[in-house]
Structure 1
């Protein structure tokens, strides 16, 4: 199975000795090591260009299980070195090396499911006309390190890693040797596993069985408007789900955005991130999307407040930011999940609050009602009627870049961005509340959404929508802040003509001359070290979505710019953006175009770990679905269009508008051929998928 993106072939052979290998993490010394993160629903495999592998686990905290280890040797031949051939697959890494006697291939695979260990397949072939006898060794070194907040990894107790020859010996020494006798031209394959084996004694499927399960699970896509989709959609789905981890403290699964935040700085944040990462999973692995929603709701307390982040030990971290948008993301994910699945029963199942609150669990629907109450009553609205900004909205730097004193903005600042987003989200949440029988909350949410939509419509400057208000300050009157513009279109604050005019303006300004997408601000502030003028995945996703209805040709163009292929073509010397990436890229006019932001003076930098951010995988997936017209409306119905193809085990959309949806509960679809309701039931077949 080949589910790699096309850019995998650009740098995959560029080892540590290659001319493009050296790079600067800014917070750490320059290095020649590059990595890609792969995984299942529990363990993370970190494979590098030296041919080595590491393991990371987030089950009870942020912990490196190994550091720069994991190699195989056959005689004097090693898989770690500058002359190895490396292939990075959607959940596996392959290294091939040969000398005059033998060829050694090592595959390390994260098996399907929640196993906290990896499968290892070693294949040795005799290249000579004579018999060969040699020792074959698999070796790992457990160097556990807990990631501490901001300061980085520090030594930790041994977690009890074990190495096992399948059907044979198991050891905690991290090293197993098998003596091989190979006939001329003969070949031998050995399979092992390594990780937290514990008392696990169930029958273990081999590498081929797991690869077959992976191939069946990943979605497929084809779009004449974006040929990159055929390779990149399954790749993004694999790396997105590979970032999930079963949570041993709060339950469900976390879908941490990763990159520098988790692996270098030690926190899972912000709360909005796992929620938005889970959105495309509604259409590929809805059970995982629901699990992430439950887990993130469990971050909070009985008042409906969600903390900014979780620290490395999964305790709430509220010292840095108090964003005003986080509840909206939970309400959005819940509404999208219900529209696509009809799974009303999920909202009656209990979800805990974070243990620090010592509060009893309540049904998921009640968690969401409390979050709506927190948003409406505690976040509240300011003097102009817009949602209060608190000390941040989506943009962590909105306060410092507003031009108003920080204390004034925190006390009285207002976010037009959050008003526009809420104007879209709240009617969809209202449909959920009404379906759960809470008509009073539904009515209030609808009315608040309508009020905010009208206010956003009044923020048109003649070229774009304003961004925020503070005491005596209007933000975004003379410069374009991209993040508010798509939401103003999506919530209906812009007429169709105005929407097309605005999208054309964005292409001529914020997106002009940028091979990766639109800048978050135009004109950009000089320097760009903190991301001013950067190209953010999350914002370009909403921009593509806004264009899907009003200017689809721009939407497809922007999706192609978001692709890994586009980054590899524009910046072939840069590893990040080839197989995965950060949450944002610096624009072409910056000092480090195609790389990412840093706040080195504060000890924080995306450039310190510029790969394995799940925005690089979730946002292209969701944007692709939106281009196909897949989106819930304010009545709780799911709209499905066409124009290109998408196929998962849950949803099929064909270019001609035909399709299929497997929904466990009653849903209503708006399709090109008219409304469709279901699921289909029958006395013989039981419940079947909807087709149109």
Structure 2
């Protein structure tokens, strides 16, 4: 049982009823590390344009990433009837997959308020109010709907700063309207819609609606709030929910009963984090959490590509849109920048990872394998506007990325792909013991080689399918060479992690991230794969309810690259690698990735209840079940420990891999999954 409430259903969908009294219960308080302690708990949902952040106080934030990282509102959205309001602590609060519900009542009236992100790319929310007269006599009431503007742009690392009003409006739907506007400066500064008739009045960001209710009668009203100027007419509340129910996947697994609830939940929160990109085209699907919402960047480029992988089997059009968008970050040389800043310009000051092209080639191969959509690869994709370079077909963009990997990232003295100043692990360089500049110039990543040994043969299949492409044979040959090199990195207990001049990384301690890829690329024969998986369960995963630790033996380093962290991205590959060899262990490891497992182990921790960070701290740390911080440099996942898309995409992808859903092969089943484009029977 969670301290904060219980799972339930709402509108036929999984939902969470928040029951804690945060004002009276001391367990509600938590420490964001970079900010003062707070009792605010929140969840992110959305459509393909707008993000709704609803909280335990019944308030809302709206976020839009269309042209930059922009908070439209902060802590607003209240309905009032007399003394009754939806922002009181005694309200009933329900978090849904694309909506939030608040219910309040007094001796006269009951009010249910739902804020919904409608299906599609609408840059506004729908508000549905159901008002019921509890008396046995008619009543005359006045209802007030209030939204306040508070636009703020997220600046790089430093946080949010005030921004110009983007033009928010509040509108009562289903009523005749005149054309009057409120006077400048009226109310809270939010523009309201045209003046409705029937006695309703607009006052800035406030709409007042008189109500007459018969004894025991009720009335339902609909509003919308957001960027309305160029918006199409809204879909109805009911049609949006029906479309949501139809598109979310379904799952059932005897090995993991929680999959029935968590798979559609993860899919909803994953797809709800997408945003139509008004600068580069397509849809962005960034990590979110502290990276976007507090520190102001979309990175690394590998992350949207990784998040889109399960969408190939759920909403393939969105997966393709994310692939196109992320490829458009780069330039004609095939390089993908580490991140985009808050203004969507490439940000290359911090890291220059060596693995990012591999993720683009992987997602492209997965998409073609599942859909057969060869035409998508002949459609043109732009490069980032700063390059002033003509667009090219997607296939050519990917071919240039392959060339960048081979010719610029290149290989080192031992034949492994170079590490540059980071591979997947941003802090691997500092852990190598080699001077930083020397490691950047000469270091090699066994992790990159193992991943490439799996990715490149699949990219070769894509290149062959799309025509006479000489990179197909080159990719296949390089993949085989790297597989043999990785096979030689077995030290009798596990696979080594990296090389630097005069240094071997990962000979004395187990670096988890390379181990699953060594199995997946077939560098490990079956007997060795089983031995390695059992070693991981006995070491990195031992006594850890949320999954295997990144490093073993444990030491006293718990930052992002430290040994006491448990990463969704790495535990996903671990589940995948174990599935064909030790399926019972693989299912056990998948269950440790679930929200259910986090709630059972840490019921007093909000992160992990509905959403989470990219990594958790292990049981032996000072804050088990919470997440990392680098407070000394002003960066902390703990400052915004929810809405990281790894916490939704990786359990979803790992579930599909457990069923054998992989590119260019048939699923093996073992559990149930169904989406509008794929069905797998047990």
- Tell me, yes or no, if the aligned pair for 2:14 and 2:96 is still in contact at 8 Å: no
Which of 80, 89, 111 is 2:118 aligned to? 111
The answer to whether 1:630 aligns with 2:661 is yes
Would you say the 8 A contact 1:530–1:597 is kept in 2?
yes
Report how far residue 12 of structure 1 moved: 4.9
Name the structure 2 match of 1:673.
none
Deviation track 1:105-140 (CA, whole Å, cap 9, x = no partner) reads 100000000000000001111112222221111111
Inter-CA distance 163–81: structure 2 relative to 1 (3 Å threshold): same
- Counterpart in the other structure of 1:49: 56
Give the Å deviation of 1:17.
Answer: 4.0
Name the structure 2 match of 1:646.
Answer: 673
Counterpart residue number, 1:360: 390
Residue matched to 2:370 = 340
1:531/1:597 contact within 8 Å kept: no
1:163 maps to 170
Contact 1:56-1:64 within 8 A present in 2 as well? yes
Matched, 1:460 2:487: no
The corresponding residue for 1:613 is 644
**In 1, Cα distance between the equivalents of 2:64 and 2:268?**
17
Asked if 1:441 is matched to 2:468, the reply is: no
CA distance 1:249–1:17, change in 2 (3 Å): farther
Asked whether the equivalents of residues 136 and 177 of structure 1 are also in contact (C-alpha less than 8 Å), the reply is yes
Deviation at 1:167, TM superposition (A): 2.6
1:524 CA displacement? 2.3
Residue 579 of structure 1 is aligned with which of 578, 601, 610?
Answer: 610
How far did 1:514 drift? 0.4
Report the equivalent of 2:590. Answer: 559
Counterpart secondary structure, 1:204: coil
> Can you list the C-alpha shifts for 1:359-385, whole angstroms capped at 9, x where unaligned?
000000000000000000000000000
Distance in 1, Cα, partners of 2:209 & 2:13: 36
Q: 2:315 aligns with which of 262, 285, 291?
A: 285
In structure 2, what is the Cα distance between the partners aligned to 1:471 and 1:263?
Answer: 39
Any residues of structure 2 matched to 1:105-504 within 5 Å, and which? Answer: 105-168=112-175, 169=177, 170-171=193-194, 173-200=204-231, 202-504=232-534
Q: Quote the offset at 1:5 in angstroms.
A: 9.3
State the alpha-carbon separation in 2 of the partners of residues 28 and 195 from structure 1: 28
| Deviations, residues 185-214 of structure 1 (Å, cap 9, x unaligned) | 1111100100000133x4422211110110
Aligned partners of 1:542 and 1:226: how far apart in 2?
Answer: 18
1:660 maps to none
What's the CA shift for 1:15? 3.7
Provide the secondary structure at the position in 1 that maps to 2:453.
helix
Aligned to 2:72: 65
Contact 1:88 1:94 in 2 (8 A): yes
Cα RMSD for the two superposed structures:
1.3
Q: TM-score, normalised by structure 1?
A: 0.92
Shift in CA distance, 354/606, structure 1 to aligned 2, threshold 3 Å: same
Is the Cα–Cα contact under 8 Å of residues 71 and 79 in structure 1 kept in the other structure? yes
Render the CA deviation track for 1:248-296: whole Å, top value 9, x for unaligned: 0000000011000000000000000000000000001000000000000
CA contact (8 A) 1:6 1:565 kept: no
Asked whether the equivalents of residues 4 and 89 of structure 1 are also in contact (C-alpha less than 8 Å), the reply is no
Q: Secondary structure at the match of 1:8?
A: strand
Evaluate the alpha carbon distance shift between residue 447 and residue 408 of structure 1 in structure 2; reply closer, same or farther with a 3 A threshold: same
Asked if the contact 1:43/1:110 (under 8 Å) is kept, the reply is yes
Query: What is the deviation of 1:18?
Result: 3.1
TM-score, length-normalised on structure 2? 0.94
Q: State the aligned residue count.
A: 649
2 CA distance for matches of 1:220 and 1:67?
Answer: 34
Rounded to whole Å, the distance in 2 between the matches of 1:595 and 1:431 is: 42
In the alignment, the residues of structure 2 paired with residue 490 and residue 413 of structure 1 have an alpha-carbon distance, to the nearest angstrom, of 23
Gaps of 5+ in 1: 656-692
> What SS does the aligned partner of 2:309 have?
helix
CA distance in 2, matches of 1:222, 1:14: 34
State the distance in 1 between where 2:161 and 2:468 align.
Answer: 49
